[in-house]
Structure 1
Amino acid sequence: MSQRLDKINALIKREISSFIQKEFEFKNALVTISDVEITDDLREGKVFVSVLGGNMTSVLEKLSKQKGAIQRFINKRTNLRCTPILIFRPDTSAERGVGIVNLLDEVAQLPTAPEEDEAN
């Protein structure tokens, strides 16, 4: 990925996070934008959303319904030729990370083979 695209991803992530913080209220949930992946032609963008303590489906529906307002906000705040069409996706990386840690703990508890003497 190019350095320019990395900067655009970070910019859009920051702007979406700012908009969500100001304009949305999610009851009993902490919603964060964990990553943004814009295509090379800047036409589409995947926005990965993390939700702690709430319903992921309802959060994604709410964000998708307000997609136009979010895109207009990005258009006003950035100097891009075209504003990407946003697609909100769930970010399950935290859950996968916990699963991997649990698997590593299980592997650590498995019996190991006895060490061989190097003298033999």
Structure 2
Amino acid sequence: MSRRTDKVNELLRREIGTTIQRDFEFPGTIVTVIEVEVTDDLKEGKVWVGVVGKMAPSQVLEKLNSRHGLIQSAVARRVVLRNTPRLTFRLDDSAQRGVDLVNLLEDIDKNLPKAPPADAENDGE
């Protein structure tokens, strides 16, 4: 990818994220724009989102993809580009995997036997 495309990707990531936060509600769910990949001609854009919370990721993606035109229009008003890419939203499940990993580590920590206090080791000497 070119440097220009990288800049456009980052700019769109921020603007799409702002638009989603401002114009959409996902009760009990955090939706984060992780990455945007546009084609070199700026006609297509894949938007990778992370979903953590009560709503099923498929519901969030369905809502975003069904209203992609609204998001594109909002972004086009704020970002001046020759073409505003047609956006498609895809799931990046790394955020959920991270939450699952933290929960697993907490469960393991709860089940580990507790080490004796450091002072107890020195009392025998």
- Normalized against structure 1, the TM-score is what? 0.77
RMSD between aligned residues: 1.8
Q: Which residue of 2 aligns with 1:23?
A: 23
Q: Which residue of 1 aligns with 2:41?
A: 41
Q: Which residue of 1 aligns with 2:91?
A: 90
Task: Specify the code of the residue in structure 2 equivalent to 1:35.
Answer: E
Distance in structure 2 (CA, Å) of the matches to 1:87 and 1:22: 19
Distance in structure 2 (CA, Å) of the matches to 1:65 and 1:13: 19
SS of equivalent residue, structure 2 residue 84: coil
Computing the radius of gyration from Cα coordinates, the structure with the larger value is 2
Distance in structure 2 (CA, Å) of the matches to 1:92 and 1:69: 24
Q: Once superposed, which parts of structure 1, at least 4 consecutive aligned residues long, lie more than 6 Å away?
A: none
SS of equivalent residue, structure 2 residue 41: coil
Contact 2:36 2:45 (8 Å CA) reproduced: yes
1:78 aligns with 2:75: no
Residues 51-105 of structure 1 show CA distances to partners (whole Å, capped at 9, x for unaligned) of: 0013101000111111111011111111101100001000023428x77xx9xxx
- Percent of matched pairs sharing the same residue: 49
Aligned length: 100
Q: Unaligned stretches of 5+ in structure 1?
A: 103-120
Q: Which residue of 2 aligns with 1:116?
A: none
Task: Specify the code of the residue in structure 1 equivalent to 2:35.
Answer: D
SS of equivalent residue, structure 1 residue 22: helix
Task: Specify the code of the residue in structure 2 equivalent to 1:26.
Answer: F
1:2 aligns with 2:2: yes
Residues 18-71 of structure 1 show CA distances to partners (whole Å, capped at 9, x for unaligned) of: 101111110111110000000111110000010001310100011111111101
Q: Unaligned stretches of 5+ in structure 2?
A: 105-125
